[in-house]
């Protein structure tokens, strides 16, 4: 995604793809639990996966089933995290994070998505330098939230940056401070639309006419793939 993107569009998209999102979250939770244990208090990756699932409104029953699957299926499919980099229409930088049990299948699917929509898959490192790896907490605007209070609280508990749009507040943290800032804001009563470690673009790119449609189709095609966990880009989406 771009720095924040269109939250309304993303929420509508999430609503229409709820089952697919839950499938991805369940896989993420199961793999984290299988690799580091089923207690989130002692498994930071599992805790992060559960928090991400809850931010997507995944029911607790689904989360529990995913954890139990890991506990009873230690010999299950072996997944690996892979990051692909490439270029969308007009050279937009794109990073795709996947969790797959078949590297060849996923690589072919990702390459096909780029090729079909005016882009091309690149080599490792070809666009990563254009992004910063940061923690990102998205809070929906609400009449009960005072912007200045939220900003001051976020910065006091360790956030690096604070931004706002018409729809949301964005809190940015260093990776090392992400969990701490998130937990402290939760203690203050704030809830998150999204809470994750993301790639934030250092500069954004504009697209025109047909390239806008191609870029949106590329994102949709990638996000429709069960192996794809996240798509990051530097398209401004304005």
User: What burial class does residue 25 get, using C-beta atoms within 10 Å of its C-beta: 0-12 exposed, 13-18 middle, 19+ buried?
Assistant: buried
Contact 203, 167 (CB under 8 A): no
Mean pLDDT of 8-17: 61
Tokens of 160: 């690096």
Domains of the chain: residue spans and CATH: 7-72 (1.10.10.200)
pLDDT of residue 137: 93
pLDDT of residue 13: 60
Q: Helix (H, G, I), strand (E, B), or coil: what is residue 86? A: strand
pLDDT of residue 4: 61
Tokens of 20: 């697919």
pLDDT of residue 136: 93
pLDDT of residue 145: 95
39-70 residues labelled b (16+ CB within 10 A) or e (exposed): ebeebebbbbbbbbbbbbebeeeebeebbebb
Q: Helix (H, G, I), strand (E, B), or coil: what is residue 111? A: helix
Nearest to 136 by CA among 189, 182, 98, 82: 182
Nearest to 153 by CA among 101, 188, 105: 188
- 183-213: pLDDT as tens digits: 999 999 999 888 888 999 999 999 998 999 9
- 167-190: pLDDT as tens digits: 899 999 999 999 899 999 999 999
pLDDT band at 36 (very low <50, low <70, confident <90, very high): confident
Mean pLDDT of 112-133: 96
- Residues of the chain above pLDDT 70, percent: 91
Angle at the Cα of 93 from the Cα atoms of 91 and 95, rounded to 5 degrees? 145
Tokens of 202: 């250092």
Euclidean distance between CA atoms 75 and 34, whole angstroms = 9
Confidence check: pLDDT of 1 > 60 = no
Beta strands in 65-223 (DSSP E): 80-87, 93-100, 120-121, 131-140, 161-164, 168-173, 194-201
Euclidean distance between CA atoms 33 and 38, whole angstroms = 5
pLDDT of residue 90: 94
Confidence check: pLDDT of 114 > 90 = yes
Mean pLDDT of the chain: 89
Euclidean distance between CA atoms 204 and 198, whole angstroms = 15
- 68-105: pLDDT as tens digits: 888 776 556 678 899 999 999 999 999 999 999 999 99
């Amino acid at each position: 995604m771009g720095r924040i993107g269109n939250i309304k569009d993303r929420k509508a998209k999430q609503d229409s793809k709820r089952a697919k999102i839950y499938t991805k979250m369940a896989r993420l939770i199961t793999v984290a639990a299988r690799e580091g244990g089923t207690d989130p208090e002692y498994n930071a990756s599992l805790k992060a996966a559960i928090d991400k699932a809850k931010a997507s409104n995944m029911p607790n029953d689904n989360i529990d089933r995913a954890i139990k699957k890991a506990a009873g299926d230690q010999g299950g499919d072996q997944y690996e995290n892979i990051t692909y980099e490439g270029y969308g229409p007009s050279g937009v930088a794109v990073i795709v994070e996947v969790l797959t049990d078949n590297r060849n299948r996923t690589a072919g699917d990702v390459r096909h998505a780029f090729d079909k929509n005016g882009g091309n898959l690149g080599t490792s490192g070809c666009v990563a330098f254009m992004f910063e790896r940061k923690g990102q907490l998205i809070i929906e605007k609400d009449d009960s939230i005072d912007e200045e209070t939220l900003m001051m609280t976020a910065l006091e508990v360790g956030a690096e940056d604070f931004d706002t749009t018409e729809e949301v507040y964005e809190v940015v943290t260093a990776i090392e401070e992400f969990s701490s800032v998130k937990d402290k804001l939760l203690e203050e009563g704030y809830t998150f639309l999204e809470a994750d470690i993301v790639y934030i673009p250092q500069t954004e790119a504009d697209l025109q006419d047909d390239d806008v449609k191609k870029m949106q189709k590329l994102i949709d095609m990638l996000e429709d793939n069960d192996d794809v966990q996240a798509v990051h880009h530097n398209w401004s989406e304005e």
